[in-house]
Structure 1
Amino acid sequence: MDGDEISGGWVALSGGTVAGVGPPGSEPAAARTLSARGALVTPGLVNTHHHIFQNLTRSYAPATRYELFDWLRTLFPLWAALDEEAVEVSTWVGLAELALGGCTTTADMLHIHPRPRLVDAQIRAAREVGLRFHPTRGALDLSERDGGPAPVEVTQSVEEILADSERLVRSYHDPAPGSMLRLALAPATQAGVSERLMVETARLAERLDVRLHTHLAESRGEEEYCLETFGRRPVDQFEHVGWGTARTWVAHFIFTGPEERERLGRWGTAVAHCPGSTMMLGAGAASLPALREAGVTVGLGCDGSASTDHASLWLEARTALAAARERGGPAATTARDILRAATVDAAACLGREDGLGSLRPGAPADLVVWELDEFAFAGAHTDLVEAWLRCGPVRPRHTLVQGRPLVEDGALTLPGGREMLTEHARLARRIQRLAT
């Protein structure tokens, strides 16, 4: 029932999938019922770009007034302290925060690897929390001494990156419909990795049949680097290394022209639109209406927990609505357009063809019951979808993944949340070099 809106309807879940939807009065018998009275039910939101580990340096004061590359150089030395414990705890906390914001599936790019098996630690946390997870094996191979932005402690050789990428895919990637875990390969940015790594990663993704992800056209600094280093603009270099395909989705895509947007549309390369992060860093935001007009599939992403400083995909959706209307006028984008970007189109960015992002029968049983019976929605009676995004802030009453409530009656169902926050505070203070 893709695109349908049912007033007072119901959704039935069984065996991890949507069993049916329908109007009031036709509800099937059920072993258990969760109330959605006075609420809005949507598919679970899908986050297409994130750096969850960055919640360990959230709103770090010395890095709050810089553009992207200055900001990175301030934080890279702190991130060099990442270990398995810090990554596992920060991922658990980040996934819980996403669920509390109505997100049921998330991608993540961990591109800092000062120690081995950090993505394995993320996967352990994701399995414990129960969020649908698309980790991307991020990478940096150019250190400061090679002309890159990162200290040598957080970079790896091309050989190390490719070997670990293949190990992770063969160990964890599940391409089946309804999969809870899929891997993608993700050199961080053309301004931080070698041309060889981009080329070899694209070949490896083709051989393993997994998706590709990177940042593209994110900043003026990236544009200057590509022109000086390769003699090409970022999109030209992206095509040169074999990434201009339907296997790829990219984050941001801000500093582009109409012809470059049209090329992405022709290639089938999708975009993770993260306006909150790039606006906070002073880079502005891509034009969602212009991307769609060029035929580009656009999903939404929270991006870094130390730039956006939140992991609420609802808040990012509201920011995307405001940014789109600022760029294209009040008629350019509706709340329904943004909801589609956060669900169906976001799932397409991740290569999902199993109905993820919808509530049609057979789709994965991921949904959110949004609490609208609150003071913030008093007077909003004519269009609950517009009210969902324009009023608020709104929180989920229930968040279900694979038919399992991760949030029920507004609270996490996961045990040990308070203890995890305590551990997170200890680790964050250590990484930020603060007295404990």
Structure 2
Amino acid sequence: MSPGADPPDTTRLALRGRIVTLDDADTVIDDGVLYLAGQRVEAVRPAAEPPPAGFEEVTPVRTRGSVYPGLIELHNHLPYDVLPLWAVPKKYGNRSQWGGSANPAYHGLVTGPMTVLGQDPRLMPAVVRYVEAKALVNGTTTTQGIALFSNAGARRMYRGIVRNVEQTDTPDLPEAASRIADVEAADAARFLARLQQPHRLLLHLAEGVDDAARAHFQALQFEPGTWAVTENLVGIHCTGLTAEDFGVFARHGGSMVWSPLSNLLLYGRTADIAAAKEAGVTIGLGSDWSVSGSKGLLGELKAARLASTAAGSVFTDRELVAMATRDAARILRWDGALGSLRPGMRADLLVVAGESGDPYTSLVDARDSDIRLVVIDGTPRYGTAALLRALAPGATLEQVPGLPGDRLVQLDDGAMDPVLAGLTLTEATDRLTEALADLPRLAARAASAPVTASPDGEVQWQLALDEIRPTGEELRPRLPALTASGPGRPTGPSITTAEGPPPPQLPVVLDGLTATGDRTFLDTLAAELNLPKEYGTSLSRLLT
């Protein structure tokens, strides 16, 4: 069953290993057992203690690893994660300078491929299947960024195997939003009213390092001393903020999503994390997208540690792990249900190989090939063949080329969305590989005869793609800057498409599921021009 409302607790599992709970006391049980009843954690106990009632006949399965809460990602443009890493040619000052018509290569890199994939009734489901599995095999159990539209005009957020921040269907996981209506984005009073509703807003904020990027934050002061910032504003990136700005942001309750690799690749600099920490800003992590970011949170943890070290060892490994678990849950107001391993919590977890050494360093150091098990809502979804067969007997398991070792995925689901029913990860991979290699022909066909209906005449769903065409919603506030004479021009990046026919589309290579299986990704990363000295090489080594 997809993450959501609780079915009856019919399955009881017990996992033995080092249990890293990420509870408020940072409890670690070196030899413990995690007891799962259906979709919930029943108990966490030392292995020497007797099991809880109802588990007397359940034999704990040895994981031979360390068990952590599942990783919670707070920022991604998920459909774009089929695209390969961009060899960024120069440093930019803000988002306007590299997106849209400002970058002649943007159409070939992003807009062209995604327009083809996002509208094709065969390829769109393949994108959804592939990018969700990519998050899963990198240890992520919650992410954000997939939305679907139908040709009837209705909007539906994707509900899949991996949790979706924007649609949860359960009261203990209040839904957040990552888009707001155009009118709310541009009008300060309406924006503040939106912030005062009982929902978190995860919005891009101050994307870049120049004055224009900072002005995007400063415009939140729409009257002298009055800021459109509340505890519901979660600022994504915040690279343009100064120490003074972070102080204001924290005093008004704002929190932040940090995407260090993407920031460094595009701007040569990331957020002032020392100032953010000093101000008391709660921070989560996001890998952004594969065009300029990590393949998932396991990679972004390494990028974050390198950035933290370069800034003066701002964060400990324990603090970094908390950003992807406990603190991310707190930002979403999910900390009563996710983010730590405690009785009553939802059973989302990650197991990585090894039971010795510092437990937090072990996770930051872990490579994708070290992942032994990923469980979402009590259902084993990815892991070694031995663990999946022991924990999910009778389940349909799939072995996929490109995944480490003997890893298997379980993607079948009784409540599966019909757009994905029956689509294996292998088939999705094959469809996307062929389509991206054939992009010149497919792009020409789409331009001359856009797809408007599915082949069988049923309702056609298509991907809702960020910033390719106007949708009536924004990913960021666009409040006018406050000047001595009153409100000035709207702030925020201008994302425009070039006039006239697009340049010829070239083939694209599908981005690999994992870093260890993607030599092209590692080589491109090591050669990136904007990264600090040795950063790309060091990160590439950490990933392999």
Check whether TM > 0.5. Answer: yes
Residue 358 of structure 2 is aligned to residue 383 of structure 1? yes
User: In terms of mean alpha carbon deviation, does 320-329 or 73-82 score higher?
Assistant: 73-82
SS of match in other structure, 2:29: coil
2:248 maps to 1:263: yes
In the superposition, relative to structure 1, how do residues 262 and 113 fare at CA in structure 2: closer, same or farther (>3 Å)? farther
- Matching residue of 1:196: 186
Match for 1:39: what amino acid? Answer: G
Larger-Rg structure? 2
Shift in CA distance, 393/116, structure 1 to aligned 2, threshold 3 Å:
same
Is residue 91 of structure 1 aligned with residue 91 of structure 2? no
Determine the structure 1 residue equivalent to 2:460.
none
Task: Return the alpha-carbon distance in structure 1 between the equivalents of residues 323 and 234 of structure 2.
Answer: 14
Write the distance in 2 (CA, Å) between the matches of 1:248 and 1:433. 38
Aligned with residue 240 of structure 1, among 217, 222, 235: 222
Structure 2 gap segments, 5+ residues each? 1-20, 101-105, 385-406, 413-423, 444-503, 509-544
Distance of aligned partners of 1:239 and 1:312 in 2 relative to their CA distance in 1, 3 Å threshold: same
Higher helix share: 1
Map 1:206-355 onto structure 2 (within 5 A).
206-207=196-197, 209-220=198-209, 223-224=211-212, 233-240=215-222, 243-308=228-293, 310-329=294-313, 332-355=314-337
Residues 99-137 of structure 1: per-residue CA shift (max 9 Å, x gap): 111111112276x999886962x51xx42xx211113xx
* Cα deviation, residue 257, structure 1: 1.2
Which of residues 64, 75, 81 in structure 2 aligns to 1:55?
81
Question: 1:51-92: per-residue Cα shift (whole Å, max 9, x none)?
Answer: 01112433357x665634343221464244432745543232
Which residue is equivalent to 2:354? 372
Give the whole-Å Cα distance in 1 for the aligned partners of 2:60 and 2:127.
Answer: 30
Partner in structure 2 of residue 72 of structure 1: 99
1:238-261: CA deviation from partner (whole Å, max 9, x where unpaired): 343964111111111112211110
Residue deviations 1:196-254 (CA, integer Å, cap 9, x gap):
267545535645x3221211122146x4277xxxxxx2222134396411111111111
Alignment match, 2:40: 17
SS at match of 2:240: coil
Distance (whole Å) between structure 2 residues aligned to residue 36 and residue 290 of structure 1:
43
Q: 1:405 aligns with which of 353, 368, 380?
A: 380
Letter in 2 for 1:361: P
1:177 and 2:204 matched: no
Instruction: Give the whole-Å Cα distance in 1 for the aligned partners of 2:152 and 2:85.
Output: 27
* Partner residue of 2:179 out of 167, 181, 186: 186
CA distance in 1: counterparts of 2:34 and 2:282, whole angstroms: 27
Aligned-pair distance for 1:390? Answer: 3.3
> How much has 1:96 moved relative to structure 2?
0.8
Please give the per-residue CA displacement for 1:300-349, whole angstroms capped at 9, x wherever unaligned.
111012211x43211101111111111023xx322111111110111122
What SS does the aligned partner of 1:50 have? Answer: coil
Equivalent position of 1:168 in the other structure = none
Distance 1:423 1:183, change over 3 A: farther
Task: Answer yes or no: is the 8 Å Cα contact 1:369–1:396 preserved in 2.
Answer: yes
Counterparts in 2 of 1:35 and 1:80: CA distance versus 1, 3 Å = same
Residues 142-185 of structure 1 show CA distances to partners (whole Å, capped at 9, x for unaligned) of xxxxxxxxxxxxxxxxxxxxxxxxxxxxxx66350157xx3414
Assess, with a 3 A threshold, how the Cα gap between structure 1 residues 201 and 338 changes in structure 2: closer, same or farther: same
2:165 to 134, 137, 150: 134
Aligned residue identity for 1:248: L
Matches within 5 A, 1:41-52: 41-52=67-78
**Residue 100, structure 1, aligned to residue 152, structure 2:** no
Distance 1:300 1:30 in 2: 39
Structure 2 Cα separation of the partners of residues 425 and 64 of structure 1: 26
| Cα displacement (A) at 1:275 | 0.5
Quick one: distance in 1 between partners of 2:431 and 2:50? Answer: 44
Do 2:192 and 2:229's aligned partners in 1 also have CA atoms closer than 8 Å? Answer: no
Q: How many residues align?
A: 370
Contact 2:326/2:335, CA 8 A, preserved across alignment: no
| SS of residue in 2 equivalent to 1:22 | strand
Residue 184 to residue 117, structure 1, CA distance change in 2 (3 Å): farther
Shift of 1:10: 1.1
User: CA 1:296/1:83 → structure 2, altered by over 3 Å: closer, same or farther?
Assistant: same
Check 1:77–1:95 CA distance in 2 against 1; reply closer, same or farther (3 A cut).
closer
The answer to whether the 8 A contact 1:83-1:115 is kept is: no
List aligned pairs for 1:112-151, cutoff 5 A: 120=156, 123=158, 126-127=159-160, 130-135=161-166
2:311 counterpart letter in structure 1: R
Question: What secondary structure is seen at the aligned counterpart in 2 of 1:322?
Answer: helix
C-alpha separation in 1, matches of 2:56 and 2:96: 54
Measured in 1, the distance between the counterparts of 2:142 and 2:164 equals: 6
Q: Deviations over 1:404-424 (max 9, x none)?
A: 111131321125110011222
> Is the 8 Å Cα contact of residues 210 and 247 (structure 1) preserved in structure 2?
yes
Q: Provide the identity percentage.
A: 23
Cα shift at 1:351: 2.8
Contact 2:184–2:190 (CA under 8 A) maintained in structure 1: no
Aligned amino acid, residue 387 of structure 1: S
Distance 1:414 1:254, change over 3 A: same
Answer whether contact 1:372 1:394 (CA < 8 A) is retained: no
Q: How far apart, in 1, do the equivalents of 2:292 and 2:187 lie?
A: 26
Residue 356 in structure 1 maps to residue 382 in structure 2:
no
Q: Output the amino acid matched with 1:398.
A: L
Distance 1:394 1:133, change over 3 A: same
Contact kept, 8 Å, 1:109 with 1:186, in 2: the verdict is: no
Matched to 2:284, the amino acid is: G
Structure 2 SS opposite 1:38: strand
Per-residue deviation at 1:282?
3.0
* Ranges in structure 1 where 5+ consecutive residues have no aligned partner: 136-171, 227-232, 374-380
1:216–1:235 Cα contact (<8 Å) kept: yes
Does the C-alpha gap of structure 1 residues 306 and 324 become closer, same or farther in structure 2, counting only changes over 3 Å? same
Please give the alpha-carbon distance, in whole angstroms, between the structure 2 residues aligned to 1:395 and 1:239. Answer: 46
Is contact 1:274-1:302 (8 Å) kept? yes
Which one-letter code corresponds to 2:360 in the other structure? V
